[in-house]
Chain A
Amino acid sequence: MSETLFAKVWQRHQVTTTDEATLLYIDRHLVHEVTSPQAFEGLRLTGRKVRRPALTFATLDHNVPTDNQLDIREPMSRRQVEAMRKNCSDFGITLYDIGSGRQGIVHVIGPELGITLPGLTMVCGDSHTSTHGAFGALAFGIGTSEVEHVLATQTLWQGRRPKSLGIEVTGKLPPGLEPKDIILAVIRAIGTGGGTGHVIEFFGPAISALSMEGRMTICNMSIEAGARAGMIGPDDTTIEYITKVDRPFAPKGAALEAALADWKTLKTDDPSAFDRHVQIDASKLVPQVTWGTNPAMTIDVTGRIPDPAQVPFASREDAQRALEYMGLTPNTPVSDIAVDVVFIGSCTNGRIEDLRSAAKVFQGRKVAQGVRTLVVPGSEQVRHQAEAEGLDRIFNEAGAEWRQAGCSMCLAMNPDKLTPGQRAASTSNRNFEGRQGPGGRTHLVSPAMAAAAAVTGRFTDVRQLLGGSNGH
Chain B
Amino acid sequence: MEPFVSHRGRVAVLDWTNVNTDLIIPARYLKRIERTGFGPLLFADKRYVAGGAPPIDNPDAKATLNADFPLNDSKYQGATILVVGRNFGCGSSREHAVWAVAQAGYRAVIAPGKGEGFADIFEGNAFNNGLLPIELSEEDWQQIVDAERAPGGAEVTVDLRDQSVTLHSAGKADRRFAFDVPESDRDRLLKGLDAIAETLLNNEDAIRAHEQQAAAWLTPQPA
User: Which of A's residues lie within 8 Å of B, judged by CB?
Assistant: 15-16, 18, 20-21, 23, 25, 27-28, 34-35, 37-38, 41, 46, 48, 54-55, 62-63, 74-77, 79-80, 83, 114-115, 117, 120, 125-127, 129, 140-146, 148-149, 152-155, 157, 159-160, 162, 192-193, 196-197, 223-224, 226, 228, 248-252, 254-256, 258-259, 262, 294, 313-315, 317-318, 321, 411-413, 420, 430, 432-435, 438-439
Per-residue contact bits, chain B 31-47, to A (CB 8 Å; 1 contact, 0 not): 11111000000000100
Are B203 and A35 touching (Cβ within 8 A)? no
Known contacts A27-B218, A54-B219; is A153 also within 8 Å of B200 by CB?
Answer: yes
Partner of B221, one of A27, A38, A251, A294: A251
B27–A411 touching, CB < 8 Å: yes
Interface pair A413/B217, CB less than 8 Å apart: no
Most chain A CB inside 10 Å of its own CB: which residue of B16, B18, B215, B222: B18
Residue in A25, A83, A144 whose Cβ sees the most chain B Cβ within 10 Å: A144
Q: Which residue of A lies closest to B92 (CB)?
A: A127
Q: How far is the CA of A318 from the CA of B84 in the complex (A)?
A: 13
| Set of chain A residues within 8 Å of B56, measured between Cβ atoms | 76
Query: Chain B residues with Cβ under 8 A from A21's Cβ?
Result: 182-184
CA distance A223 to B210 in the complex (A): 29
User: Would you mind naming 11 contact pairs between A and B with Cβ atoms under 8 Å apart?
Assistant: A15-B206, A27-B218, A143-B121, A145-B129, A149-B195, A153-B199, A155-B203, A159-B124, A159-B184, A193-B119, A420-B50
**B206 contacts A16, C-beta separation under 8 Å:** yes
Q: How far is the CA of A197 from the CA of B123 in the complex (A)?
A: 11
Do A38 and B57 have beta carbons less than 8 Å apart?
A: no
Q: Is B93 a contact of A20 with CB atoms below 8 Å? A: no
* Contact, CB under 8 Å: B119 / A196: yes
B172 beta carbon closer than 8 Å to chain A: no
Of the residues B185, B200, B220, contact of A115 by C-beta under 8 Å: B220
In the assembled complex, B171 has its CB within 8 A of some CB on chain A: no
Given contacts A15-B203, A143-B94, 10 further A-B contacts (CB under 8 A): A20-B182, A25-B211, A142-B121, A144-B125, A145-B128, A153-B207, A155-B207, A157-B195, A192-B18, A438-B26
Let me know if B203 and A16 touch, CB within 8 A. Answer: yes
- The minimal Cβ–Cβ distance linking A258 to chain B, given in whole angstroms, is 5
Q: Flag if A143 contacts B93 (CB, 8 Å).
A: yes
Smallest beta-carbon distance A384→chain B, Å: 17
Report B60-111 residues with CB < 8 Å from chain A CB. Answer: 86-87, 90-96, 98
Most buried by B among A155, A157, A197, A254: A157
Contact A142 B93 (CB under 8 A): yes
Q: Which of B91, B125, B182, B223 contacts A145 (CB 8 A)?
A: B125
Q: Are A149's CB and B196's CB within 8 A? A: yes
Q: Indicate if the CB atoms of B50 and A439 lie closer than 8 Å.
A: yes
Assuming the A-B contacts A143-B93, A155-B207, A413-B31, are A23 and B216 also in contact, with contact meaning beta carbons closer than 8 angstroms in the complex? no
The residue that A413 contacts in the complex, of B27, B45, B222, with Cβ under 8 A, is: B27
Chain B CB count within 10 A is highest, among A15, A162, A254, A420, for A15
The 10 closest A-B pairs by CB, nearest first: A143-B95, A248-B223, A141-B93, A143-B125, A37-B33, A145-B128, A21-B184, A76-B31, A259-B217, A193-B87
**B116 located at the interface, meaning its Cβ lies under 8 Å from any Cβ of chain A in the complex:** yes
Given the known inter-chain contacts A255-B216, A411-B27, please indicate yes or no for A314 contacting B17, CB distance below 8 A.
Answer: yes
Q: Is the CB of B20 closer than 8 A to any CB of chain A?
A: yes
CB atoms of B128 and A249 under 8 A apart: no
Most chain A beta carbons < 10 A, residue from B35, B91, B182: B91
Q: How far is the CB of A190 from chain B (nearest CB, A)?
A: 12
A38–B200 CA distance with the chains assembled, in angstroms: 20
Contact flag A435-B27 (CB < 8 Å), given A76-B57, A157-B199, A420-B50: yes
Q: Check if B115 is an interface residue, CB within 8 A of chain A.
A: yes
User: Across the interface, do A251 and B199 meet the contact criterion of CB distance under 8 Å?
Assistant: no
Residue in chain A with minimal CB distance to B98:
A143
**Interface residues as binary, B177-212 with A (CB distance below 8 Å gives 1, 0 otherwise):** 000001111000000001110011001001100110
Contacts of B210 in A (CB 8 A): 15, 25
CB contact under 8 A between A432 and B22, given known A41-B35, A127-B91: yes
Output the nearest chain B residue to A154 by Cβ-Cβ distance.
Answer: B207
Contacting pair A38 B35 (CB below 8 A): yes
Which chain B residue lies CB-closest to A74? B31
Within the complex, what minimum Cβ distance (angstroms) separates A162 from chain B? 8
With an 8 A cutoff between CB atoms, is B23 at the interface? yes
Does chain A have a CB within 8 A of B30? yes
- Are A432's CB and B91's CB within 8 A? yes
Cβ distance A141 to chain B, nearest Cβ, rounded Å: 4
Asked if B151 is at the interface (CB within 8 A of a chain A CB), the reply is no
Distance in angstroms between the alpha carbons of A148 and B83 in the assembled complex? 29
Contact A438 B199 (CB under 8 A): no
B32 to chain A, nearest CB (A): 7
Contact between A75 and B221 (Cβ–Cβ < 8 Å)? no
Q: Please tell me which one of the listed residues B32, B92, B116, B199 contacts residue A76 in the complex, with CB atoms under 8 A apart.
A: B32
The residue in chain A whose Cβ has the minimal distance to the Cβ of B30 is: A34
B1-31 contacts to A, CB under 8 A, are: 16-18, 20, 22-23, 26-28, 30-31
Which of A76, A152, A154, A159 is in CB contact (< 8 Å) with B185?
A: A159
B215 touches A413 (CB 8 A): no
Question: A63: which B residues are within 8 A, CB to CB?
Answer: 31
